[in-house]
């Protein structure tokens, strides 16, 4: 599943091609994805100018003067920017056609498993941050509001393992499975440790590790395990830098001990039995 770095890579890729441009057409090749496409979406968007793009957690936000599109890539989705006239492939479900000084461009959503989403939030409904999908999200890990002190204060009554607390997204958003495993390894914290038992000093290390891991992943184009590709069709290569994720049984790059794989909340967790005591 695309995580925060992959969504941010996507946002940075599409922004120069759509920001400031006027929507010429909206093409929907089915009734919806995980949820139905918003009724009357073409009427809402055609003739309207895209003011800017943004990201909240794993949601890509395309802003207009009267509201915003909320796009989620689901488990297998990706966006491409294409010239007009490119025939849609199977699973190309949604197009946003925009016009600019250099002609039309097509923002196309490809989603084989159809767990993604294209939703609309109207400005008349209030602040975008109060949208049902966004209101419960924690702070952005790359923003100024995220710190070890925040993690420490918010986990004093959390008995769940720290890996599960990170994935929950209500304290810090967007730290998905891959990057939680890698960050906990860099901070030398066992993923099974109850969140309330971790000291403030160790949380400071963890917060710094999360920031560094996510920033490095964005620079490297995210991770490409199966489905994700960037807007330009290229694969990310952060997976070449993994220390623990998807390396079960392989010697640790630091100490040589075998990387262990366990299940936590139906998700695979990878960690070093020596470095993460």
Q: Provide the annotated active-site residues.
A: 2-3, 58, 267
Four-residue CA torsion sign, 158, 5, 123, 44: negative
Query: CB under 8 Å, gap of 24 or more: what pairs does 65-68 form?
Result: 65/123, 66/122, 66/123, 66/124, 67/120, 67/121, 67/122, 67/123, 67/124, 67/125, 68/120, 68/121, 68/128
Is the separation of the CB atoms in 48 and 66 below 8 Å? yes
Residue with tokens 């922004």: 15
Residue 103 neighbours by CB distance under 10 Å: 9
Dihedral angle, C-alpha 196, 199, 201, 205, nearest 10 °? -50
Counting every residue, how long is the chain? Answer: 277
When computed from its CA atoms, the radius of gyration of the chain, rounded to whole angstroms, is 20
CA 163 to each of CA 143, 176, 179: distance values in angstroms, whole numbers, following the listed order: 21, 10, 10
């Amino acid at each position: 599943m695309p995580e925060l770095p992959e969504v941010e890579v996507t946002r940075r890729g599409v922004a120069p091609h759509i920001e400031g441009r006027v929507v010429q057409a909206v093409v929907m090749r089915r009734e919806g994805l995980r949820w139905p496409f918003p009724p009357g979406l073409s009427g809402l968007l055609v003739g309207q100018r895209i003011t800017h793009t943004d990201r909240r957690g794993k949601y890509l936000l395309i802003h207009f003067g009267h509201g915003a599109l909320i796009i989620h890539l689901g488990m297998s989705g990706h966006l491409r920017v294409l010239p007009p006239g490119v025939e849609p492939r199977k699973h190309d479900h949604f197009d946003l056609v925009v016009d600019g000084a250099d002609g039309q461009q097509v923002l196309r959503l490809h989603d084989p498993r159809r767990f993604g989403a294209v939703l609309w939030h109207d400005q008349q409904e209030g602040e975008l941050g109060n949208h049902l999908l966004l209101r419960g999200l924690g702070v952005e890990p790359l923003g100024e509001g995220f710190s070890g002190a925040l993690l420490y204060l918010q986990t004093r009554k959390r008995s769940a393992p720290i890996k599960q607390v990170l994935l929950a997204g209500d304290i810090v958003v967007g730290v998905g499975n891959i990057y939680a495993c890698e960050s906990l390894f860099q901070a030398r914290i066992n993923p099974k440790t109850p969140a309330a038992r971790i000291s403030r000093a160790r949380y400071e290390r963890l917060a710094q590790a999360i920031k560094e891991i996510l920033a490095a992943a964005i620079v490297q184009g995210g991770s490409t395990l199966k489905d994700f590709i960037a807007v330009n069709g290229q694969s990310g290569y952060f997976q070449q830098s993994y220390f623990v994720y998807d390396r079960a049984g392989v010697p640790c790059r630091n100490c040589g001990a075998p990387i262990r794989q366990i299940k936590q909340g139906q998700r695979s967790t990878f960690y070093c039995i020596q470095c993460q005591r």
